[in-house]
Amino acid sequence: MGNTLKERNLTMLMDFYELSMANGYFENGMRDKIAWFDMFFRHVPDDGGFAIMAGIRQLVDYFENLSFTETDLALLKKKHMSDDFLNYLRHFSFACDVWAIPEGTPIFPGEPIVTVRGPVIQAQLVETMVLLTINHQSLIATKANRIKRAADGRTVMEFGSRRAQGYDGAIYGARAAYIGGVDATACTQSECDYFVPAVGTMAHSWVQLFGDELEAFCAYARQYPDACTLLVDTYNVLKSGVPNAIEAFRREVLPRGFRPAGIRIDSGDITYLSKKARKMLDEAGFPDCKIVASNSLDEIIIRDMLIQGAQIDSFGVGERLITAASAPVFGGVYKIVAVEEDGVPVPRIKLSENVTKITTPCAKKVYRLFDKETNKAIADLITLFDETIDESQPYELFDPVYTWKRKKIENFTAKPLLVKMFDAGKKIYEIPEISESRQYCFEQVETLWDEVKRFENPHKYYVDLSQKLWDEKTRLLDEYSHKGQ
């Protein structure tokens, strides 16, 4: 691979307070204190029914390559870090256990999607990068999945490199978009680094450089007769663009034994223009010539175009995908949930007057419950870490807020979602090929009911707590509430 995190030392890519706290932990004798942290998110972007997990490969690369350089240590010395702490960082060796939900999995608010257990200094120091990596790529994968579903089986290409927030945003964004469902990217570096198929044809500058549009089209067709897609909106789509494309196909593509690949429309009322262009291509004997649409598209525009009868075979989606423009923040957080005493996790909870910010304590597991008859997901269930679910017995689910809402399920399977990826700092997880994660995403989204997949007002997919976990959370709420009196 090319420009991956394995070739970049990003150890110092962290909020400075992580280092301030780590130095404080060290000086207060907590160097070997074991803590549990969970990453979770509170809200699905675009008010959708679910999000898509992505970013695991970069997170794994980061954990494998944590090391502080002498330059790093010199900077921290100026920041009044203790010499003993700096010596600890000089010999730093990642020793945490890490669990995470695999890439491509639909995920829901409130459930742990990454769990880190280990020396509190280490588990604290990695917070920023855990959040940065998973927040960004999950955001883009989620948007890509919405756009791909809106396209209703048609090809979707990610065209956003030039509008991304920096080159990492373009490269990793293209990777995440592919996991979420797009078919290809315009970002060549993402194919070099992550094997995301890179595609592209021409820009308006190609057409403008030649003496006239037909000459430009013929030159391109001679160069690429086996994959000839022509951009037809530089001057006038219906009066010159499509007629000149048809003529170029006849002059340069057919005589070489090929069929035209397509035309692309990048401006105007694309729905109207695509209908007219389709008729012109069909009448010219090119019913197999595809029509590609681009120009500030997103899932809502694509859905409406298709409802209105647009004759589009594939979509190039740029800025609104690579920046997730309609909801550009994923909002994942990283909270301590337990501290070990004599090897036993003792729960920690954060209270807040904002109920959504009250954390769920304890070392935990996450299960997805599937109906054996339909293979559809019923709900997700968060349990204590040492809990098991007996699939042979009925199980009662209840809403952790409206506890009187209860449902007893039978004939189900319980699939653990969190997969252990590091054991005491050693990687034990084999990252799937990106094409496998993409296919896995398709398969897992299909296990969700259509009502959960609606773009507007989706049905709420429940993330419930086991009775034991709920009891423990309630006990801590009561305990800390009384302390605050």
pLDDT band at residue 8, thresholds of 50, 70 and 90? confident
Domains of the chain: 5-140+328-483 (3.20.140.10), 151-322 (3.20.20.70)
Three-point CA angle 437, 114, 23, nearest 5°: 135
The pLDDT of residue 352 is 87
Q: What is the pLDDT of residue 484?
A: 57
pLDDT tens sequence across 409-429: 999 999 999 999 999 999 999
Tokens at 439, concatenated: 């296919």
Tens digit of each residue's pLDDT (9 = 90 or more) over 126-179? 999 999 999 999 999 999 999 999 999 999 999 999 999 999 999 999 999 999
Average pLDDT of the chain, as a whole number: 96
**pLDDT, position 1:** 43
How does DSSP classify residue 323? T
Question: CB burial class (10 A; 0-12, 13-18, 19+) of residue 88?
Answer: middle
19 vs 460: CA distance, rounded Å: 39
* C-alpha–C-alpha distance, residues 315 and 221, integer Å: 21
Q: How distant, in Å, are the alpha carbons of 130, 278, 292 from that of 272?
A: 46, 10, 13
Average pLDDT of 255-266?
A: 98
Q: Which residues, at least 6 apart from 455, have a Cβ–Cβ distance to it below 8 Å?
A: 46, 48, 146, 150, 299, 300, 303
Q: What would the mean pLDDT of 383-408 be, rounded to a whole number?
A: 95
Distance CA 18, CA 32 (A): 16
Q: How sure is the predictor about 5, in pLDDT bands with cuts at 50, 70 and 90?
A: low
